[in-house]
Structure formats: C-alpha cells, structure tokens
Amino acid sequence: MKKHLYAIALLSVLNLQAEDITKLETSNSNGLLGQSSIGAYVGTARYADEETSDLLDNNFIFGLGVSLKTTENISLGLSMSTMRADIDYNGITGDASGLALSASALYHFFPKEDIDPYISLGLRWVSTKVDMEYQGTTYSEDNSDNGYMFSAGAEFDLSETVFLTPSASYTKVGDGDASKDIAVAIDFKITETIYLGGIIEIELDETNTGYFVGISGKF
C-alpha cells in the first residue's frame, strides 16, 4: 500500500473543489458574479488511479460558500467543502474524510457585458483523515496543511437566464504537487434571486474528475 496514497487522493479532490463553490455562487451582472450571495453544492469525484478508484469511488462531497460584493468589480468569498468515502474493498474496510476552508478575492473586468472575464486569488487550508483495517492491521493517517489558489475564466451570457463559465485554476497546498484544473460550469436563473448550477471539473495531472450540482441565491 503506497504511503500517503489515500491522503494525497483526498487532497487532490479537495483541491479539485477549490473554485467549485465560487462558480456555483456566481454569474455576471444578470446573475451573481460580484454580487452578495450564498450557495451550496453536492457532488462526487472519480479517480483515474485504479487502486485509489477501487477504494474511494464511493464518495460524497458537500460544500457551502458566501460571496460579498465590495465594489462594482470586486467581491470577497469564504467557502467550506467536505468529502467522505466509505471503504469496503477486498477485505479492506474503513473511511476517509477531508475538510477544506478557503478565503478569496475575485475581480471581474466587464460586469455589464455579455462576456465577463475574471481572476481570483485566495488562501486555502485542507485537512484529510484516513482510517482503514485489513486482516487485523490498522492504517491511520491524519494530515493538515495550507496554501494558495489562483483561477481565471470568463462567463458567457448564452441568454438572459443561462450562463456558461469555462475556467482554469492552480492550487498549491503544502509540499505536495500543485493541482492544475480546468472546469466548465453552467448556471440557470430560476427566479430573480435563485440559481441552479452544474460543474464538470478535471484535474489535469491525475485526470481525476469532479461532478457537482448546486443552488445559490442573492441577498
């Protein structure tokens, strides 16, 4: 069993979510980008590594976030995401979990236009825990670390109620390898204050993939 394999996999998925809650919270001037809002999402991750996939594919991810408009172009955000996986494979039993907290600042360039590019910078803290048992032998690992994240993208108005946001992000936490991700998010304006959204995000190095759906609203 590779040392740190499962803790690293958990960290990878939590990094995969670095910008997820931001995308589900935000649309442009017709939506929520740069506006005061709150959002939540649920999702799951699929791992490219076969051994990790066998152990951790039974996972559930949940996140919350809030964004506060400070100027026409700048907003500040706080987010929390958790991940849990029940392990039961070839006699290996246990569970794995993770928690990530983020604080970020977002600048969008053209808040009144149909195409609105943005950049985002932030700080991130991540904690992971793995407890497993195999043939009477217990394996346990508990890690936490902090780092930073950067993302850039653009939101496109497909209509007055549909918004598409492709983006790329870079996240570095602790001494491990940086996570480089690409994502496509789509948001649907349901009412003047309520939005539903979905995201597919791919980590480029490991090709882990996250699938998320969420709800958000202005306040």
Between 29-43, 52-66, 77-91, 128-142, the lowest mean confidence (pLDDT) is in: 29-43
Q: Domain 5-218: give its CATH code.
A: 2.40.128.130
Q: What is the pLDDT of residue 175?
A: 86
Q: Which helix (H) or strand (E) holds 24?
A: helix 20-25
8 Å CB contact between 199 and 212: yes
Q: What is the pLDDT of residue 22?
A: 47
pTM of the model: 0.81
Mean pLDDT taken over the chain: 85
Q: How far is CA 56 from CA 47, 49, 113, 202, in A?
A: 8, 10, 42, 17
How far apart (Å, rounded) are the C-alpha atoms in residues 161 and 175? Answer: 42
Domain definitions of the chain by residue range:
5-218
How far apart (Å, rounded) are the C-alpha atoms in residues 38 and 75? Answer: 12
> Can you tell me whether residue 55 is helix, strand or coil?
helix
Cβ atoms < 10 Å from Cβ of 99: 17
